[in-house]
Structure 1
Amino acid sequence: MKNRKWLAAGVAWSVVASLMLVGCSGNGNGNGNGGTEGPASSPSAKPGATANADPIKLTFWGAVPVENGPQTVVDNWNKENPDIQVEYVRFVNDEAGNLKLDTALVSSQPVDMYVSYDYSLYEKRVKAGNALDVGEFTDFGVEEKMGEGAALWKVDDKYYGVPTSKGPSFVWLNKDMLDAKGLPVPTEWGLDEFREYAAKLKDDNVWGLAQSDYYFNVPINGSMLKKSLTLTNPDGTSAFDNPLTVKTLQVYTDMMFTDKSLMPHTEQITSKPALDQMFVKGETAMLFSTNQVFRTTNNMAEYPRTFKVAAAPAPRVNKDQSDYINAGGLGDVISINPRTKHPEAAQKFIKWYADSGMLPMAAGGRVPASKDFPVDEAVALMFKGVEDTYDLDSIKRVMFGDLPLGLSRLDRKTGSEQQAIYDNVFSRKLTPEEGAKELARVHNANLKTSSQ
């Protein structure tokens, strides 16, 4: 499961500043830690050949292991485009791997395109002059293709890369349990309805809801982000101390200690249950997570199940909030190295990748962000062989729908300090009202420090 910070957010997916680290593990989800790093084959010479006599050669650096989609992607491209040949080079998305990429960007090593998985690293590369302004290419409108959530990746009001995937947070549902209680799959709901569902679905051997502490602040941040992607008031002070924050803390506290539909926070910290396994085993009716869980729900050999899985959007604090922003923004941002000799060819590849070419990445958990992506093909690949065990209409509506997505740029220090406050609220050392004030206090202290 994810760490104990807001991370928006994917993910699982997806990132921003210090909170979103997508592409950072080397397992089947196609992220970047672990495994053998390096190119899919030997690195090519520095790009520069002419078309026809010698094809243009481009290198594309990313953190996803070659076997989890990238090699198939470049093989497909190379077959269709003999005049522009792309080679994939793997780097590990950790400190050493990102340093390797940054060094290559300013050296003689061939890097024509590369993927950034974290906003702070992306911004650093832009400021260092290592990313081309993709606004120069008029044949591909980033926001037109990817939606409003793409604006999160602007630097000085310009796009220096194309975000290609999205990682929304949402609720996985045991549809058989819902059907038994006569409950429809929600298409929109608030925390009150969320709590009601959990209470109706629980029994002596089944939790109504399971979720890691990472998701407790999803409704809080989603209420504050709105369209402005900010966590502050107009006067620059923290917006955490507000009635919606208090309500969120109160609802989760009531679910733990009054309804007993959600495992108490302290018990979860102590026992560290594998929540995705709890879900496939039928030990919880609902699971608040991201698309990363489908790798467990798809694994029928290791985790056999007989029930059908459905999906619902993350609950708003109040059902009627029209300006709510869902956690799990866009990520996997592909940039062009300004030193490439073939920027037009690189842009052609990126456009193809975003609109259709990244299809092989879907099986590893990458949810394409482009509105022009063939959704049915991606869903078919993601759930191949187990499609009959899913309510695919709800899956497509949530994972590939048009929910407004965003991610918090809350700094790492504030996130860490706020987690301790959530711990105190959900162990009943602080009331929800006191917790909201404390969340704002530490945020204001760090805002003041950062402005000095």
Structure 2
Amino acid sequence: MKIKKIPSLLLSLSLALAVTACGGGGGGSTSESGQAKNESGKEAAPEQIVLKLSTWQTDAKAQWSKIIPEFEKKHPNIKVELDLLNEKGDSVAAMQKLDLMAASNDQLDIVELPYTNYSQRADIGLFEPLDSYIEKDGYKYEDEYLVDTKVNGKIYALPSSMQRWFVIMNKAMLEEAGLPVPTDWTWAEFEEYAKKLTKGDGAEKRYGAYLHNWPDYFQLQLMSKPSDNTFLKSDGTSNAKDPLLKANLEMMKRMMYEDKSVNPYEDIISQKLAYRNQYFNGLAAMLPMGDWMVAESGGTEAIPATFVTAFAPLPKLEGESKHYSPVQPTYMAVAAKSKNKEAAYQFVRWYTSEGLEIGGRVFSGWAKSDTDKLVDTIVNSSIDPSKIDIESLKYTINNTIPGSAPVPVKYADEAKNVVIPEAELYILNNQDLDQTIDSIDQKITEVVNNNQN
């Protein structure tokens, strides 16, 4: 008999949150409203409120130093202090620190979380439900935001950035090979491009594409579906038997060892290859990747851009007329233990609508965002905008349809991680494909069953 496993820290955290929840919903009227009355009964100047913004995203990535002052200009009685949970921007380490803070007396007000870290913490009461705040503001959630954030029927966060996937391409290498920037292509055509873009031998060999060892790359073709586009179906059960997972693993192995248009898997793990180095150093001509790479395509302080990057939609499936991409939002929530929930919500609402665009680094989950204008802002804020092919970028963004994006179940990361060793066994020729698919399905199903309530 298998016993459901619950991380001890999250278990103790849920108990601590249950205790604090009994103390009431959010402090006195002075701390909530920032208003007080003097002895004569007249309203005094608003009390200064100090909020903590806890996130893993560094200033270099999110541009908080540009964004926060703009909010403070609009709300002079609210000061927002950045609480960077990890100096290196490591989201895993940051979430571990967040859990410790939630179970302690540390101040928490505004919390930003990565894609797969939200529902588990919402489920145990770490965040304030926002439904009443939204109702008070007088807008319909579905008219304002592109993805659903409900957990157990309640809205615990608003989506901030929303990541799409596409393929970035060295434009000079395309021209050298006589290949146009793709606007309408399939995964089979992606393979053909990779073969034609491969050049040379040995240490200086240029591969047609680079496929990293993240779990996302094992499910690339699944990501081209309009729904059920991850290892888990929308109902939270295993999606391993989808024929596209099998097809994708076959494609990866074929590109690595038959076509030799992609780095061999053993080189990726033994040499600890980094996708940025492979692409920006000209060792790979194409890279399927998320849209955080738009600004980086203009170069970074660590790796300058020396060539123009073009963009193409994630290849479509055979027989499909449109290009889809999964959308992976980040979430911004109000901490349940905050003593200034109303002020924290004001920042969350402002940032997830107009505020995020000020940073000019990422795309927005706000339905009313002007995408073309945001593209211009992101490109122009890069170190060298001339290295970004803006025409292909705008085409790609405007012609990629977001796949459905239900809130990831709390065990999404756990399910994703059990895929890695099984997929590696197949790619490294230590297990046949049918056995690999069966093992992945079995292990994901075990994760699902162990997490059933």
Class of the TM-score when normalised by the shorter of the 2 chains: 0.7 to 0.9
1:395 to 393, 396, 418: 393
1:143 aligns with 2:128: no
Deviations 1:298-320 (A, max 9, x none): 33665445431012232344361
Query: What is the total number of aligned residue pairs between the two structures?
Result: 398
In structure 2, relative to structure 1, the CA distance for the partners of 1:161 and 1:392 (3 Å cut) is: same
* AA matched with 2:46: P
Q: Distance in 2 between matches of 1:444 and 1:116?
A: 26
Cα distance, 1:433 vs structure 2 = 3.2
Contact 1:58–1:112, Cα closer than 8 Å, also in 2: no
Q: Tell me, in whole angstroms, the C-alpha distance in 1 between the residues paired with 2:260 and 2:103.
A: 53
What is the deviation of 1:58? 5.2
Task: Check whether the contact 1:166–1:368 (CA below 8 A) recurs between aligned residues.
Answer: yes
Distance 1:179 1:264, change over 3 A: same
Map of 2:125 onto structure 1: 128
Give the corresponding residue for 1:312: 312
State the secondary structure of the residue aligned to 2:266.
helix
Q: CA deviation at 1:162?
A: 0.3
For the residue of structure 1 that corresponds to 2:246, the secondary structure is helix
Aligned to 2:64: 70
Partner in structure 2 of residue 244 of structure 1:
244
Letter in 2 for 1:261: S
Give distance in 2, aligned partners of 1:264 and 1:228.
26
Amino acid at match of 2:332: V
- In 2, distance between residues paired with 1:336 and 1:199? 50
| Structure 1 residues without counterparts, runs of 5 or longer | 1-16, 19-44
Matches of 1:359 and 1:433, distance apart in 2:
46
CA drift at 1:137: 1.6
Q: Check the 8 A contact 1:233/1:239 in 2, yes or no.
A: no
SS in 2 for 1:50: coil
- Unaligned regions of 5+ residues in structure 2, if any? 1-5, 8-29, 37-42, 87-93
How far has the Cα of 1:422 moved from its partner? 1.1
Residue 225 of structure 1 deviates from its aligned partner by 7.6
1:99-133 Cα shifts (integer Å, max 9, x gaps): 354246xx6x7644332335445543454264123
Q: Is 2:21 aligned against 1:49?
A: no
TM-score (norm 2): 0.75
Residue 367 of structure 1: SS of its match in structure 2? coil
1:137 counterpart SS class: helix
- Aligned counterparts of 2:175 and 2:398: Cα–Cα separation in 1: 24
Residues 325-336 of structure 1: pairs in structure 2 closer than 5 A: 326-335=325-334
Tell me what 1:117 maps to.
114
Give a deviation string over 1:198-247, Cα, whole Å, max 9, x none.
Answer: 1121121321001212132233543678169882498x863312322221
Is residue 232–residue 240 contact of structure 2 (8 Å, CA) maintained in 1? yes
Contact 2:240 2:441 in 1 (8 A): yes
Matched residue, 1:275: 275
Report the alpha carbon displacement of residue 436 of structure 1 after superposing the two structures with TM: 2.0
Q: 1:59 aligns with which of 51, 64, 71?
A: 51
Secondary structure of 2:312's counterpart equals strand
Q: 1:334 to 1:361 in 2, by over 3 A?
A: farther
Q: Secondary structure at the match of 1:74?
A: helix
Q: Which of 375, 381, 403 is 1:379 aligned to? A: 375
- Partners of 1:427 and 1:226 lie apart in 2 by 30
Greater Rg by CA: 2
Matches within 5 A, 1:257-276: 257-276=257-276
Residue from 153, 159, 162 that aligns with 1:157: 153
1:220–1:244 Cα contact (<8 Å) kept? yes
Q: Which residue, out of 176, 182, 185, partners 1:180?
A: 176
- CA pair 374-62 structure 1, distance change in 2 beyond 3 A: farther
Q: Distance in 2 between matches of 1:300 and 1:411?
A: 32
SS at match of 2:220: helix
Distance of aligned partners of 1:112 and 1:237 in 2 relative to their CA distance in 1, 3 Å threshold: closer
**CA separation of 1:146/1:394 partners in 2, compared to 1, >3 Å: closer, same or farther?**
farther
Q: Which amino acid aligns with 1:265?
A: Y
Distance 1:85 1:359 in 2: 20
CA deviation map 1:309-333 (0-9, x unaligned): 01223234436176x8634411132
- Cα pair 1:191 1:248 within 8 Å, conserved: no
Whole-Å Cα distance in 1 between the matches of residues 170 and 103 of structure 2? 48
One-letter amino acid matched to 1:330? P
**Distance in 2 separating the partners of 1:62 and 1:289:** 26
Root-mean-square deviation (Å): 3.6
**CA distance in structure 1 between the partners assigned to 2:139 and 2:283 by the alignment:** 46
CA distance in 2, matches of 1:248, 1:169: 16
